[in-house]
Amino acid sequence: MKPVLVILAAGIGSRYGGLKQMVPVGPLDETIIDYSVFDAIKAGFGKLVFVVRDEMYESFIAFIGNKYSHKIEIEFAVQEESSVINPNRGKPWGTGHAVLSVSELIDRPFAVINADDFYGREAFEQAELFLTSKKQEMGAYALVGYQLGMTLSDHGSVSRGHCEVNENGYLTGIIEIGEIWEEGKLIIYKNGQNSKMELVPNSLVSMNFWCFMPDVISHFRSEFRYFLEEHANSASEEFLIPYMINKLVTAGQITVKILEAPGQWFGITYKEDKPDVENALRELVESNIYPSPLWK
């Protein structure tokens, strides 16, 4: 069976100020999702699962409409509202919790991506190759990694999962850093003591392109229970995929192969990023990397 692509589209876009998932950026008003789906189908994925919030469910289905349904199987999953657990919380529980939303729809190897990130064709090809070669090997996962210096915004700080990788190309640890920015020629973040620290531009970071086997769902489920024991009353703490993966990797329970992406990443964090993404996509179309329109 062809692998599944899970597209996380339930984010509230707080830094952007709205739903980035539906923003037109292509020459003919294509969204980043359109390009991801196009690349995934070309790479050999056989099913899409979109994770959305309840209040956007109907509009998102209308937005997707019949765009891809004649090309690939599509299903939708709703991420449970955080208020079910914490009535005073307004934001979702995070990307790890979003993956739990698809637990009933996963019966084969699958990849997870963000709806508002452009990953490039090579990333999907590498992911599909890994997922089909590993079959159902429990505990053996992968991450498509990008060089930090290629993932920053000119318009503000970004959050990234900073990776530690061994000589064999496997993840040994991943730490979510909430505020990373460029200061002159340096890449800076602040540590727990509020001191500025420097990061290396070619260090690898996660842009949330994960390759999983179905058994990972049981890990998400148990780790989310542990997370809630500490943070159920929190208004801001999030159960992020890197949080869970870091715990499991350091405990030796799983392996995560790093698939270093040779292609280009770009995305929309702030409204000011939109023209940059539009220009980048226009260049890819003019170079005949993508057809225009995408779906002929």
Rounded Cα–Cα distance for residues 189 and 145 (Å): 19
Residue 152 is given by DSSP the state -
Nearest to 227 by CA among 253, 255, 248: 248
| pLDDT per residue of the chain (296 residues) written in tens, 0 to 9 | 899 999 999 765 444 344 567 788 999 999 999 999 999 999 999 999 999 888 878 888 887 767 888 889 999 998 887 777 888 877 788 899 999 999 999 999 999 999 989 999 999 999 999 999 866 688 999 999 999 988 988 888 898 999 999 999 999 999 988 889 998 888 988 887 778 889 999 999 999 999 999 999 999 999 999 999 998 888 888 899 999 999 999 999 999 999 987 777 888 888 889 999 999 999 999 999 999 998 77
Under CATH, domain 4-286 is a member of which superfamily? Spore Coat Polysaccharide Biosynthesis Protein SpsA; Chain A (3.90.550.10)
Q: Which residue has the tokens 């869970």?
A: 244
Q: Measured between alpha carbons, how far is 281 from 38 in angstroms, rounded to an integer?
A: 13
Instruction: Assess contact for 292 and 151: CB atoms under 8 A.
Output: no
